[in-house]
């Protein structure tokens, strides 16, 4: 009995440390959140000054006073000049593209987090629930190996393995040196201190150690670092799963405690507000149908409360997951909240089955490269990571 339990624990530890768990789920979460933030920044480009820049009603001095009390991190607090704001906003767009494509994913995930925090912490009162989820997930993604599949890094790793490359990476080295110089400048001029200085220097030192071990100690030290990275990745993915469950559980239980969701007015009133009716005829028609209002109202509460408990049953979980994604798609169209919906769908994607994600990926590849329709063996696809893949 004890030996059987020991074998089970050993298999579990080997699974967690031997490879990055849920590589497709982490990849789709990476793509979803980076795409959401990128589209938001591009859409708000004409209004960027009023949202986060010097022309914002929430002035730079007010933001600095608030950040002085809550100790939040924002690059925009380093200077109130318009030029610095334009640089940070443009850099945030570039970091989103880097993470979306999976190019230098380790560095890109940290830069993406910095870009999100820089803008959102500058004006904390212009966001919604989707921005809060994006804020949190940007931090969690920095601890994941989210570029194992569906990324430029994974393609580069496969090509390097096929060509038996010597492991040199001049682009990565140049990127690390540039990051070190910028971080040293920010620390020297006094704009970076405290927790964030320690965290960013620790991240930079970790990447330096990884490069040195990969280049000069490819044996057991490399294996140990891979195991640690996989363990941290698994912990971060678990935190993301728990976070999504908490979001839905708390939202559902708070809805139960009030009367607005019991009598249907929580849905009826927003359908008559000008700010949430991009299609007035559709909104008013839906609000005028009592049966639809009741089904959507009670269905939303039931799905949100029940979802965390359905994780123990794969089939029921998949049904409720599809319902929640459809609900968010409906919110995007009917209430005019596309970025909130995209953020929530990206968070929900962590629960998508691996088989479904691989099927979607295969269809996308066949669509983009019709001339190279090779049959991928079931036991391992061309994108499936191995324990030696470094991203």
Per-residue pLDDT of the chain (391 residues; tens, 9 = 90+): 446 666 777 777 777 888 889 999 999 999 999 999 999 999 999 999 999 999 999 999 999 999 988 888 999 998 899 999 999 999 999 999 999 999 999 999 999 999 999 999 999 988 888 899 999 999 999 999 999 999 999 999 888 877 766 667 888 889 989 999 989 988 887 677 788 889 999 999 998 888 888 877 777 888 888 899 999 999 999 999 999 999 999 999 999 888 888 888 888 999 988 888 899 999 999 999 989 999 999 999 999 999 999 988 899 999 999 999 999 999 999 999 999 999 999 999 999 999 999 999 998 888 877 655 444 444 444 444 443 333 3
| Helix, coil or strand: residue 167 | coil
- Give a yes or no: residue 160 inside a domain: no
Output the 3-class SS for 319-356.
HHHHHHHHHHHHHHHHCCCHHHHHHHHHHHHHHCCHHH
- Give a yes or no: residue 391 inside a domain: no
Token code pair at residue 238: 């678990």
Token code pair at residue 336: 């005019």
Output the 3-class SS for 18-68.
HCCCCHHHHHHHHHHHHHHHHHHHHHCHHHHHHHHCCCCCCCHHHHHHHHH
Please count the other Cβ atoms lying within 10 Å of the Cβ belonging to residue 356.
11
CA 65, 66, 69 angle in degrees (round to 5)?
A: 95
Helix, strand, coil tally for the chain in percent (to 5) = 75, 0, 25
Q: How far apart are CA 89 and CA 84, in angstroms?
A: 9
- Give a yes or no: residue 105 inside a domain: yes
- Kindly give the interhelix angle for 2-18 and 220-257, rounded to the nearest 10 degrees: 100
Q: How far apart are CA 53 and CA 88, in angstroms?
A: 10
- Give a yes or no: residue 172 inside a domain: no
Token code pair at residue 153: 């890094």
């030290």: which residue's tokens?
A: 221
**pLDDT score of 164:** 66
Task: Assess contact for 152 and 103: CB atoms under 8 A.
Answer: yes
What letter would DSSP give residue 309? G
Q: How far apart are CA 45 and CA 360, in angstroms?
A: 32
- Give a yes or no: residue 280 inside a domain: no
pTM to 2 decimal places: 0.90
Q: How far apart are CA 241 and CA 32, in angstroms?
A: 15
The CA distances from residue 65 to 69, 70, 71, 85, 188, in Å, are 7, 9, 10, 18, 23
Number of domains in the chain: 1
**pLDDT score of 390:** 32
**What is the domain range of residue 113?**
20-154
Q: How far apart are CA 78 and CA 64, in angstroms?
A: 10
| Nearest partner of 346 among 44, 140, 160, 171, judged by Cα | 140
- Kindly give the interhelix angle for 220-257 and 195-216, rounded to the nearest 10 degrees: 140
Q: How far apart are CA 303 and CA 319, in angstroms?
A: 10
Cα-Cα end-to-end distance for the chain: 40
**pLDDT score of 221:** 82
**pLDDT score of 166:** 63
- Give a yes or no: residue 166 inside a domain: no
Token code pair at residue 136: 């949190």
- Give a yes or no: residue 33 inside a domain: yes
- Give a yes or no: residue 354 inside a domain: no
Annotate 217-266 with DSSP letters as a single string. -TTHHHHHHHHHHHHHHHHHHHHHHHHHHHHHHHHHHHHHHSSHHHHTHH
Collect all residues with Cβ–Cβ distance below 8 Å to 226 and sequence separation of at least 6: 387, 388, 390
């Amino acid at each position: 009995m004890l030996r059987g339990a020991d074998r089970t624990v050993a298999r579990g530890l080997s699974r967690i440390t031997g490879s990055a768990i849920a590589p497709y789920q982490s990849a789709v979460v990476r793509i979803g959140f980076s795409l959401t933030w990128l589209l938001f920044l591009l859409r708000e480009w004409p209004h960027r000054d009023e949202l986060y820049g010097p022309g914002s009603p929430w002035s730079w001095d007010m933001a600095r006073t608030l950040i002085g009390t809550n100790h939040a991190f924002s690059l925009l607090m380093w200077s109130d000049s318009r030029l610095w704001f334009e640089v940070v906003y443009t850099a945030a767009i570039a970091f989103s593209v880097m993470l979306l494509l999976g190019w230098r994913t380790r560095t890109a995930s940290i830069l993406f987090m910095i870009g999100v925090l820089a803008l959102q912490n500058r004006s904390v009162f212009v966001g919604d629930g989707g921005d809060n989820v994006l804020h949190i997930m940007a931090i969690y993604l920095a601890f994941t190996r989210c570029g194992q599949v569906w990324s430029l890094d994974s393609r580069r790793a496969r090509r390097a393995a096929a060509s038996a490359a010597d492991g040199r990476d001049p682009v990565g080295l140049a990127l690390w040196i540039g990051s070190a110089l910028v971080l040293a400048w920010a620390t020297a001029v006094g704009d970076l201190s405290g927790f964030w200085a320690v965290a960013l220097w620790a991240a930079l030192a970790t990447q330096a150690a990884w490069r040195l071990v990969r280049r000069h100690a490819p044996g057991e030290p490399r294996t140990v670092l891979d195991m640690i990275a996989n363990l941290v990745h698994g912990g971060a993915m678990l935190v993301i799963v728990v976070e999504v469950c908490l979001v839905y559980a708390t939202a559902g239980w708070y809805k139960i405690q009030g009367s607005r969701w019991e009598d249907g007015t929580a849905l009826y009133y927003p359908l008559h507000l000008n700010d949430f009716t991009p299609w007035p005829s559709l909104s008013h028609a839906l609000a005028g149908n009592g049966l639809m209002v009741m089904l959507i109202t009670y269905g939303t509460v039931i799905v949100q409360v029940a979802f965390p408990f359905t994780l123990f049953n794969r089939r029921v979980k998949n049904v409720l997951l599809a319902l929640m994604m459809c609900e968010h798609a409906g919110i995007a169209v009917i209430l005019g909240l596309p970025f909130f919906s995209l953020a929530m769908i990206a968070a929900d994607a962590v629960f998508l089955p691996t088989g479904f994600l691989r099927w979607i990926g295969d269809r996308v590849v066949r669509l983009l490269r019709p001339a190279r329709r090779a049959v991928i063996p079931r036991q391992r696809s061309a994108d499936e990571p191995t324990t030696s893949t470094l991203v």
